Structure formats: C-alpha cells, structure tokens
Amino acid sequence: MSEKLKLFSWRDMVYVALPSLLLAIGAFWLAAQFIRPAPPDQLIISTGGEGGAYQIFAARYKDVLARYGITLVEKPSAGSVENLARLRNAEFEVDAALIQGGTATASEDDELVSLGDFYNEPLWIFYREGVVSGGDKLLDLKGKRLAVGGAGSGTNNLAMELLAANGIDATNTTLIKAGGLGLVESLRKKDIDVVFVVGPTQSALVWSLLYTPGVRLMNLVRAEAYTRRFPFLARLVVPRGAVDLEQDIPPRDVNLVSPMATLLVRKDTHPALIGLLLQAASEVHGGPGVFQKPGEFPRAGHSDFPLSPEAERYYKNGKPFLQRYLPFWAATMIERMVVLLVPLIAVLFPLMRFAPQIYGWRVRSRIYRRYGELKFLENELNENPDRHTRAEWVAKLEDIEKDAGTIRTPLAFSDMLYTLRAHIDLVRHAILRHTAH
C-alpha cells in the first residue's frame, strides 16, 4: 500500500495521543494524591486500671473489631488523665483512648478529636456503715480516710475538685491516692473509711462494693448544685432496686453526679478505623442500662474536644453505605478507588470524544492550507489576469498541485484530496480562459 494511502497518519496520531496521554496520566496522578492509604490492621487504645470499666469495654471493642480483621492492642494506664497525656505525647504509640469528661480542655495545639458521648460515668461514693454521720453530703467526709483514686486517674481528678469545693483537702482529711479492687478489702479491714469510684455499674469495683456488707452508697442531696458549678457533670438517679430487685440494691433512690465518657483519637487515625470504633461502640453501649435507654449511646455530645468529621457523618447517616452490603475490606478498597472516577469522568471521557475530532482537524488542515493557496491564486487571477503570462499562472498552479500530491492522507480523508485536485483543474480552466497564449 502506498505511504500516502495508509489507514491513518501515525504522525497525527502521535501529536494527538501523546498530549492526551500526558493529560490523563497527570489527572490520575493528581487524583492519586487524594487516595487514602489502606487502613492498618491494628489499632492501639489506652485503657485504664485492672478490672476497670475502660479495660472491660476495650475488651468488648476488641471482639467486635476482630470480626473485621482488625487487632485492638490494649495499653493499661492509671486512667483518664494518663490516657490524655499519652495521646498528647507524639512519641507515645497510641491511636485512641477512653477519656472522662471534665478531665481536661482542648488546647490550640491539640491534634485530638472526640467520637462523641459513649456512656454515663457516674461518681460513686461508698463508705463504711456507722463511720460517716448523715451520709448525704461531702462535708460529712471531712477528717475521714478517703481513697480518692489512683494518681493519673479520672476518679482522682474529679474527687479532688468536688472535695476542694467543700473545703476538704490534705490539711484536714487523709487523702489516699489509691484505686482498684484492693479497696474492697481495705474497707473490710477498716484501713479506709470512704472510697471514690468513677465508672458504670459494670465496673468490677463498683459492682463489688454494691454487694459488700456494711458498705453504704452516699446519696448526694446536693447533686443538682454540683452540676451548676461543674458544667461537665449531670445529675443521675439510681432508682431503688435498679441494680438488684431481689436484694433491693440500692435500698433507696440515690442521687449521683456523672461526667460523660468519650473516646478521643488522634486526627491522623484512619477514617475507616474510626468508623469501626463507632460501630463497636454502638454494639457495646447501645443497649439499655441503669442510666440509659436502648439506642441512646453513642451520640454526638458536647465534649471539650471537636467532634471527628467521620463521627459526625456516622451519627447522621449510620454505617457507611458500602459496608452495609460488602465486607469491610472490599468496602474500604472501593471507597479508596472511587476517587479515580474523577479523572475518568473529567478527563478521559472528554478526551475520548474530542481526540478523534482533533485528529481529523489536523489531517484536514493540511488540505485546507492548499485550498487557501488555491483561493489566493484564483482571486489574483480574477483581479488582474494580465499580471502574469499564461505560462507563469500555470507554473504557480502546478506548484500547488505538486505540493498537494505530497500530502499524506489517510484513506478516510482521500475524498477531500480528490476534491482538491478537481478544484485545481477548475482553476486551470479559468487560467486558460482569462489569459492569452
């Protein structure tokens, strides 16, 4: 086949395809910058002391996350204050931590976000029967031996705030920084008089003390006043028999004050893991309880820390759409890849539509250029046929015809080339008519 009659022009194909390819590659590269990495298969959480609620709940989160192939690594701590310090320490390897409301406020350089309110975390004050007169005011505890929670715990933080508000401190009362199940035995042996505990009824220490003979639960008659002074607290009531109807525990309605437990994560925690944590929290905390109705928790709360955007979406829309129908790994992969649809729609589709037109324009432009030369020659002939001799006019025309014969035209455009040659003949006849020998 003649070089001039190829099915298509490689040169024009390169001129059109190469910029199109570079544009497509650039678009996909730009989109790739927004593709999130695959979620890690491990998440590290800072919990609390042995037997505490934080440790219990973390173990239940672990079971839920394991179903999705995620390993939850638990790191025990003294409690809420230490958990917060770990999160703020960039060198400490941790992704999330359970935090007691009111433990601290967010600072400008914090890279932490909240996942909302997870459950009520009431303050329980237990005392040995007969040791505390009245038993309904914190003022009654002055001069006693108080176990106010371990150093670095949320219990210690809250207990010291409430005691200070009542004028109780180390100068007039024995304050023992201790926590854990060992306090039950200390009460029995009369080594201490009062125990402060922050946690839900599921807490091992709370549960043990509720059933310990000779131990009473303080009814805070001023609970409402504390909520006004400390806005992060809420007043709760444990109805009579709510813990155990058969044994009538507690034997009366009891007023408590309660901060809210939340889960804080670092801002760089993978969004897919945040979604799984919220799903785990819904399973673990979503049921009915002494202080909550079914489905009440978790929820978007009013934490001192900003709510995570992923948590905000979860509370509005629930589980991500794809995860409702696909396995976790498949849903996350599709969510990551969907960003590649942007260059596909914004670049590839227009290229597929306009590239053939650009290719055709390049091929036709070479023929149109000869048409332009032919038209100028014809106009010049009509305006002043005597400007050149017939031989000179014919020589000019033959130059155009010769040049047209060198055009490499794909078969699809060969009709235009033949039409050009026919028009060249028309101009030749015009030269013969308008010029003398």
Query: Between vectors from CA 262 to CA 160 and to CA 72, what angle results, nearest 5°?
Result: 115
Residue 254 φ/ψ, nearest 5 degrees: -125, 130
Full pLDDT tens readout for the chain, 437 residues: 344 444 445 555 555 567 666 666 666 566 555 556 678 899 999 998 887 889 999 999 999 999 999 999 999 998 999 999 999 999 999 999 999 998 888 888 889 999 999 999 999 999 999 898 877 899 999 999 999 999 989 999 999 999 999 999 999 999 999 988 999 999 999 999 999 999 998 888 999 999 999 999 999 999 999 999 999 999 999 999 999 999 999 999 999 999 999 999 999 999 889 999 999 999 999 999 889 999 999 999 877 899 999 999 999 988 877 677 777 766 676 676 666 666 666 666 676 676 677 767 777 787 888 888 888 888 888 888 888 888 888 888 888 888 877 777 777 777 787 888 888 888 888 888 888 76
* Sign of the CA dihedral with 142 first, then 147, 150, and 155 last: negative
Per domain, the residue ranges of the chain are: 3-27+341-434, 36-118+262-319, 122-258
> Please, which residues have CB within 8 angstroms of residue 69's CB and are 6 or more apart in sequence?
41, 328, 329
Give the DSSP letter of residue 292: B
The tens digit of pLDDT for each residue in 346-386 reads: 666 676 676 677 767 777 787 888 888 888 888 888 888 88
Is 0.85 surpassed by the pTM of this model? no
Angle value at C-alpha 268, between 263 and 274, nearest 5 degrees: 45
HSE-up (13 A, CA, CB side) for residue 300: 13
The reply to whether CATH 3.90.1150.10 applies to domain 122-258 is no
**Residue 222: count of CB within 10 angstroms of its CB:** 18
* Beta-strand pair 254-258/234-238: antiparallel
CATH superfamily for 36-118+262-319 is Periplasmic binding protein-like II (3.40.190.10)
Q: Does 122-258 match 36-118+262-319 at the fold level? A: yes
Strand partners, 197: 124
